[in-house]
C-alpha cells in the first residue's frame, strides 16, 4: 500500500492500517518504513475479533485481511487473504469507476 500510496491518493482513497502494537510502536514503525498513512492501534484486539482478523482477544498475531469501504461506509469488498506484494494492485483494480 505504501508503494502505491500516490495512486490511491489520486483516486481519493484513504488508507488505514491496524495492528496490535501500541501507538508509540506504530509511530516508530511508520517512521522507519516510511508509511504515509495512519496506523491505528488495537491493543485489546477488539476490532480484530470483530472484523475477522483474530478469533479472540487472546490471539497473538492478527491475520492479514483488508476491506474496501465505499464513501457511504458500506463494504464493497472483503479480502480474506492479503499478499503484501500484490494487494495494492488488487485493490486499485477493484475500485469503482468515478
The enclosing domain of 18 has a CATH number of: 3.40.30.10
* CA Rg value for the chain: 14
Predicted pLDDT at 51: 94
Predicted pLDDT at 7: 96
Range of the domain at 41: 2-94
Q: Report residue 74 as a C-alpha cell.
A: 458500506
Tell whether pTM > 0.85. Answer: yes
- pLDDT exceeds 80 at position 98: no
**Distance of CA 1 to CAs 32, 56, 82, 85, 92, Å?**
15, 27, 11, 9, 10
DSSP string, 54-88: -SSTT-SS----EEEE-TTS-EEEEESS--TTTHH
- 55-88: pLDDT as tens digits: 988 999 999 999 999 999 999 999 999 999 999 9
- 22-52: pLDDT as tens digits: 999 999 999 999 999 999 999 999 999 999 9
Look at the block and give the residue holding cell 518504513: 33
Q: How many domains is the chain built from?
A: 1
- pLDDT exceeds 90 at position 11: yes
- Number of C-alpha atoms within 13 angstroms, CB side, residue 74? 3
Amino acid at each position: 500500500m505504501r508503494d502505491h500510496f500516490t495512486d490511491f491518493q489520486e483516486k481519493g482513497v484513504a488508507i488505514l492500517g491496524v495492528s496490535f502494537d501500541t501507538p508509540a510502536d506504530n509511530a516508530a514503525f511508520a517512521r522507519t518504513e516510511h508509511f504515509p498513512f495512519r496506523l491505528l492501534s488495537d491493543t485489546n484486539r477488539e476490532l480484530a475479533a470483530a472484523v475477522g482478523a483474530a478469533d479472540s482477544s487472546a490471539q497473538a498475531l492478527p491475520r492479514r485481511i483488508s476491506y474496501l469501504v465505499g464513501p457511504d461506509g458500506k463494504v464493497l469488498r472483503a479480502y480474506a487473504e492479503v499478499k503484501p506484494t500484490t494487494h495494492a494492485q488488487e485493490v486499485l483494480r477493484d475500485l469503482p469507476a468515478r
